[in-house]
């Protein structure tokens, strides 16, 4: 049965009648029309649905909305906009680090969580931080370069 759920997403509080066990992903996509997090596998194997939960990258496909209530949720949309992109987003554009782009949400969200605790990661550390994200087009090396570039930019600021 649905019940009142309060969720804090991208700095705003939302209240809705929801099935408590519904994965957060569907609320973000269908109720808030957020297109950053994407459905990929539903079993936290691919990372397409990543969001920041209290600053940590977590797969929203397996987190029930009920549990998400206690956390501060940030999606890709909170990072920046096309007019004012976040340094990570800008770095991905500068490196042209995309083919189909479907996995980029997971890559950028995981990278942000990494840079928050490790502002100057090595390539190996970047790769490890992105381990939960699958890319099928083979854009990995560009993605790693983009994250390294963003780290350099942030450190220079």
Residues in the site for another protein, rule: CB under 8 A?
2, 12-19, 22-23, 26, 29-36, 38-43, 45-46, 48, 75-77, 79-82, 85, 88-89, 92-93, 96-105, 108, 124, 126-128, 130-131, 133-144
Q: Is 120 helix (H, G, I), strand (E, B) or coil?
A: coil
Q: How far is the CB of 55 from another protein (least distance, A)?
A: 19
Nearer to another protein, 63 or 135 (CB): 135
C-alpha–C-alpha distance, residues 143 and 42, integer Å: 23
42 neighbors 30 (Cβ within 8 angstroms): no
Q: Any idea which residue has 């397996």 for tokens?
A: 62
Minimum distance from residue 115 beta carbon to another protein (Å): 15
Nearer to another protein, 73 or 103 (CB): 103
- Element containing residue 150 per DSSP (H, E): helix 140-156
The CB-of-70 to another protein minimum distance in angstroms stands at: 19
112: nearest Cα among 138, 96, 90:
90
């Amino acid at each position: 049965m649905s019940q009142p759920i309060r969720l804090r997403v991208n700095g705003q509080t939302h209240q809705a009648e929801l099935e408590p066990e519904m994965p957060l992903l569907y609320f973000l996509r269908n109720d808030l029309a957020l297109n950053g997090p994407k459905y990929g596998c539903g079993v936290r194997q691919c990372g397409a649905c990543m969001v920041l939960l209290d600053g940590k990258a977590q797969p929203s496909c397996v987190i029930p909305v009920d549990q998400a209530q206690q956390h501060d949720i940030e999606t890709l949309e909170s990072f920046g906009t096309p007019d004012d992109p976040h340094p990570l987003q800008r770095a991905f554009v500068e490196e042209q680090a995309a083919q189909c782009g479907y996995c980029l949400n997971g890559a950028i969200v995981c990278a942000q969580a990494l840079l928050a605790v490790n502002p100057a990661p090595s390539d190996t550390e970047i790769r490890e931080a992105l381990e939960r994200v699958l890319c099928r087009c083979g854009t990995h090396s560009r993605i790693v370069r983009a994250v390294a570039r963003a780290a350099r930019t942030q450190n220079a600021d």
